[in-house]
A and B are shown apart, each in its own frame.
Chain A
Amino acid sequence: MNRPDPRLLLGATCLAGPIALALLSLAWTPFAVNGLDIAHRLLPPDAAHPFGTDGFGRDLLSRSMAGLRATIATALAATGLGAAIGIPLGITIAASHERRSAPLRRLADLVFAFPPVLTAAMLAALWGGSAAGAVVAIGAFDVPVFARIAAAAALPVLAQDFIAASRLAGRGPLGVLWWHILPNIAAPLIVQASLQAGIAVLAEAGLTYLGFGLPPPAPSLGGMLKDYQSALGAAPWLVLIPGALVTLLVLGCNLLGDGLRDRLAR
């Protein structure tokens, strides 16, 4: 009965490697991330450079590690931003009177109607391409997603007598939210957060590819795909490896989300 869901295991396995590499890059990379070495340019993977080198002789493993770090950090920050604004917003919508929350609902719909690419393009036009711009653009897209899930999950919880009992015990609105509502709606939110993290990885890669994210030379997986696409014929590993890492992260997040959904649903 207690056998872990194979999707949970597989998802965790998919994520474990990339996350370990990203964390390791904080302390150590085999070569300098932006260290040029023209003599060893476009080397295919071998013992010294397991992922090969790029057109400037930069070690692709080191760049991938740093790129993973940037992509994962952006995805987590964007998902966190979306959750931090979306969840309280959703609970507020659920708790307030239909008529009073209508403007909030419309606003959420409006934000939802903007694709993140458009938001990011607008922000890039204002501030220039930046990691913060990508975080805000993806986070803004996540806000209504979390708001909807939180509102739908909070509605039945708010009607429970233990919410009334907690108010009688002297808890204010924030106390009730923190102690009673959040723990009771955590399951669907955790599931959604892992799915949104997967979407954010893909969105970050996409935005950077389009030039709206982290500016070069700092590596990110999307930026690497953009930089190396012209070398696809000559050095296919330069595109395949960052592409595979993006796939691994997205797949891991989705498997984890699906597994958690069944495990937490009960």
Chain B
Amino acid sequence: MNAVLTLRGITARRGGHDILRGIDLDIAPAETLGLIGASGAGKSTLARIVLGLDRPDGGQRHLAAAGVQAVFQDPQGSLDPTHSIARIVAEPLATRRVRRPERARRTLAALEAVGLPATLATQRPGSLSGGQRQRVAIARALIADPALLVADEPVSALDVSVQAQVLNLLRDARRERGLSMLFISHDLAAIRHLCQRVAVLHDGRIVECAPAETLFATPRHDATKALLTGRPLPADAALGR
């Protein structure tokens, strides 16, 4: 099958430093690709290039189908505080000149799909909890039926009790809509749970890319090993002592 996203030889320089030094990456339809790497490895720079928000300094980015949307880390900063929830969720429709009644209908459906009551539609982001805000962001990302969703640390600012809800939503989106996803996180447990394949970004390059099970069971590159062994499995340590 044709890849939804193809990156070939992507390079990026920021402030005189080579952040990305030639990234090749493919994401297949309905595939969730995990991207891990230490802080400062260039994960967010790569995300902005995949989203088309920044231009790479070299290389090619090709999207097979129209439509790439994002869910960001900070659910507070990703929603305009001056807009109502309904307006935020409907923005991708408003720019496509979808007519108002149709827009309202799809907005309520999108809110319902992420488990939010219709009564929230008229409220502003300030009165929502972190988990509710992140669901609004997911509703906005999914309303225009994108081919690819880039999720940049979507759960790391959330409570444990809410993380699971958001991960379940993202999983449903892949299974029910055949959505492809680039899932960026430093939470290895979340990556392991959600991703079919995992790529390791180190020093501006993809140093390892393998099916999730293989990567977690037999990491090959030293950078991968460092990331995986950085944290002892706390549960085992706690229960065993």
Name A residues whose Cβ lies closer than 8 Å to a Cβ of B: 160-162, 164-171, 175, 179-180, 183-184
Contact = CB atoms under 8 A, between A and B. Distances in A.
A175 B95 contact: yes
A3 B54 CA distance: 47
B70 A168 contact: yes
B61 interface: no
A165 B82 contact: no
A85 B62 CA distance: 39
A171 B91 contact: yes
Given A164-B51, A165-B72, A165-B140, A171 B78 contact: no
B85 to A, nearest CB: 13
A32 B7 CA distance: 77
Interface string B149-193: 000000000000000000000000000000000000000000000
Contacts of B81: 184
A165 B83 CA distance: 13
Interface string B63-98: 000001110111001111111000010011011100
Interface of B: 48, 51-53, 68-70, 72-74, 77-83, 88, 91-92, 94-96, 137, 140, 144
6 contacts: A161-B78, A164-B48, A164-B51, A167-B53, A171-B91, A180-B80
> Is the contact region of chain A dominated by helix, strand, or loop, or is it mixed?
helix
Contacts of A170: 92, 95-96
B77 A168 contact: no
Contacts, number: 59
Nearest to A165: B78
Contacts of A179: 80, 83
Given A161-B72, A161-B74, A161-B77, A166 B82 contact: no
A173 to B, nearest CB: 13
Given A168-B70, A170-B92, A162 B78 contact: yes
Contacts of B48: 164
State the main secondary structure of chain B at its contact with A: loop
Contacts of A165: 70, 72, 78-79, 91, 137, 140
A175 B97 CA distance: 13
Contacts of B137: 165
B78 A168 contact: no
Given A164-B51, A183-B82, 20 more contacts: A160-B77, A162-B77, A162-B78, A162-B79, A164-B48, A164-B72, A165-B72, A165-B91, A165-B137, A165-B140, A166-B91, A168-B52, A168-B53, A168-B68, A168-B92, A169-B69, A169-B92, A171-B95, A180-B82, A183-B83
Contacts of B69: 168-169
Nearest to A156: B77
Nearest to A159: B77
Contacts of A160: 77-78
Contacts of B96: 170
A163 to B, nearest CB: 8
Contacts of B73: 161
Most buried by B among A164, A166, A169, A175: A169
B14 to A, nearest CB: 12
Contacts of B52: 168
A258 to B, nearest CB: 23
Most buried by B among A161, A167, A183, A184: A161
Contacts of A166: 80, 91
